[in-house]
Structure 1
Amino acid sequence: MNLQDTMYNWLSIKVVADYRKDDQAAQDTCSFFMDILTEDHNVADLSVEVTEEYYVVYYVKDGKSDSKKFPSELIEALLSSIENEPKYNQ
C-alpha cells in the first residue's frame, strides 16, 4: 500500500477512533495503520491540523518534513457511515 493510501486509511480510522474511544476495533485498526506508516513508510512526528475544508497531516519521512491534505468530507465519511449503521450503535 502506498503512502498516500496508508495515510488516508489511518486518518479516516483515527477520526473514528478519536470519536469512539470505547470502540476497540477502531483503536486496533488505527494502531495497525500507524504501524504501517512508521515501519513500512518510515514516517514519524505525525500531527493533524483540521480546517473547515481539509485535514492536513504533517509528518517527517526519511528526515524530511512534508504534509498531505485530504478533503474533510472524504475523511469523515467512514465515521458518518459507522454512526448511521444501527448495528454499530447498540
Structure 2
Amino acid sequence: MNSLQDALYNWLTIKVVCDARPDDLAAKETRDFFEEMLTTEHHVSKIEITTDDVMYFVSYQHGEETKKARYPRELIEIMLNQINQEPKKYEDYIIED
C-alpha cells in the first residue's frame, strides 16, 4: 500500500497530464486508479488544488480533518514535460470495438 503522501503525489502528477491531454485514455485510467486509492484506502475527499509560480498546494479532507500538502511544480510537471518533449513516445492508442 502506498503512503497517503505518495498517492497524492502520483494522483496530482497524472491529473496535470490529464488536464493537459483530455483525450489521453491511459492517463485518465491512471488518474482514476489513484483517485480510487485516495478515496477507498486513504479516506480522502474534497481535494482542492491551487498553484503559484513554484508550488502546487493541495487541500483535502482526510477523515474529519482538513489537511494540506505542497509539491514543487518542477516535480509534478516532470511527466507532462517528458510527454511534450517526446510526444511520439507517448501516443494515445485508441482501441476500437
Above 0.5 in TM-score?
Answer: yes
Following TM superposition, the consecutive aligned residue runs of length 4 or more in structure 1 with deviations greater than 3 angstroms are: none
Correspondence for 2:25: 24
Correspondence for 1:48: 49
Identity of aligned residues (%): 41
TM-score by length of 1: 0.95
Correspondence for 1:36: 37
- Larger Cα Rg: Structure 1 or Structure 2? 2
Stretches of structure 2 that go unaligned for 5 or more consecutive residues are 93-97
How far is 1:87 from its partner?
2.5
Counterparts of 2:23 and 2:61, CA distance in 1: 30
Correspondence for 1:87: 89
CA displacement 1:16-75 (0-9 Å, x = unmatched): 000000000001100100000000000000010011110001000011001000000000
Stretches of structure 1 that go unaligned for 5 or more consecutive residues are none
Tell me the C-alpha RMSD between the 2 structures. 1.2
Correspondence for 2:95: none
How far is 1:89 from its partner?
4.6
Counterparts of 1:79 and 1:52, CA distance in 2: 16
Aligned residue identity for 1:81: Q
